[in-house]
Amino acid sequence: MKTPIASPQYDLTAYDLQTLLALVRGATLAEAARRLEADASTVFRSVQRIEKSLGQRLFERSRLGYLPTEPMLALVPHAERIEAELEAARASAQRPHEGVSGRVRLTTTDAVLRGLVLPSLKPLLAQHPLLQLDMRTGNELASLSRRDADLALRATRKPPDHLVGRKLGTVRFVVCASKALAKTVTSKKAASMMEGLGGLDWIAPDESLPEHPSVLWRRKQFPKLTPRHHADGIVAVTDAIKAGLGVGIVPVFMLESEPALVPLGGTLADCESDLWLLAHAESRHLRRIAAVYDHFAASIRLS
């Protein structure tokens, strides 16, 4: 009678981990395939092969997509470190005289992109002509946490603990109107500017930003006021103000790039947030990421 030979322990490869990590971040076969520049059937077969070889399920299939199991979640930190080391090795292999090159993915909000990021980019891109930027806007840090982005510029009081970063200053806010509407407001007799504001049409962020400082301030100062118009971001609020649809609250830093906005009074008390430049600890010092990080840290400063 032959003694059965135990199958050897399966050795995960760097490509296996890359595939699994893409599915963790993408949640669907189609999204994982896009990240890997492969096709969904290839990702499906690879995951099946890895799970069979390891003898355990790494994902639960559901209506929400592929949800990582506990064993898979335990693999994620190792996969991310290997990912960062491979990227660091590629950067080290780059000749110094070739300069900084490659793609850096930035996530930020629409207002920070328009008011702070875009006006600062010309010197950076002139210094590094081989550098490429992918700029995405959204109101959450989820894309940075999922590694959809390398850097984030966010207004937040408390950045996530797993990210490293630098506070660039305080974002302050002011009530603004168009030039024509501002003349009407200032010509009306009112006991105070605040009293006059309460009787105007307001433009406010929609339900996607329920905790935005401007929303919290307005609800506190004018608890009975219902905004006439809503917009899906601060840039859209700004554009509606410039079109003369009403008054609204915008970050002070936008005034420099938006001369059509007229402040109605000074900065608002108890209406502010902190601007943070954030990155992953493992990839913060890669040349292409460090170049962009250092540029923003030096060029974007709020008092």
* Domain that residue 226 falls in: 96-303
Query: Which residue carries 């930190």 as its tokens?
Result: 77
Query: Residue range 289-294: average pLDDT?
Result: 93
Q: Distance between alpha carbon 43 and the CA centroid of its chain, in Å?
A: 27
The verdict on 201 and 272 lying in the same domain is yes
How many domains, the chain?
A: 2
Tokens of 213: 């400082």
Residue 298 in any domain: the answer is yes
Burial 34-59 (b: 16+ CB within 10 A, else e): ebbeeeeeebeebbeebbeeeeeebb
For the chain, the C-alpha Rg in angstroms (whole number) is 25
The verdict on 195 and 269 lying in the same domain is yes
Residue at a domain's end among 44, 73, 92 = 92
More confident residue, 99 or 17: 17
Q: What is the CATH number of the domain that holds 123?
A: 3.40.190.290
Q: How many CB atoms lie within 10 A of CB 69?
A: 15
Q: What are 155-181's pLDDT values in tens digits?
A: 988 888 778 899 999 999 999 999 999
Identity at 161, one-letter amino acid code: D
**What is the residue-averaged pLDDT of the chain?**
87
Residue 148 in any domain: the answer is yes
* The overall pTM is greater than 0.85: no
Query: Residue range 94-105: average pLDDT?
Result: 76
Q: What are 102-143's pLDDT values in tens digits?
A: 889 999 999 999 999 999 999 999 999 999 999 999 866 556
Q: Which residues, in sequence order, are bridge partners of residue 240? A: none
Say what the pLDDT of residue 163 is: 82
pLDDT class for 81, splitting at 50, 70, 90? confident
For the chain, helix, strand, coil in percent to 5 are 45, 20, 35
Query: Residue range 238-253: average pLDDT?
Result: 96
The verdict on 193 and 265 lying in the same domain is yes
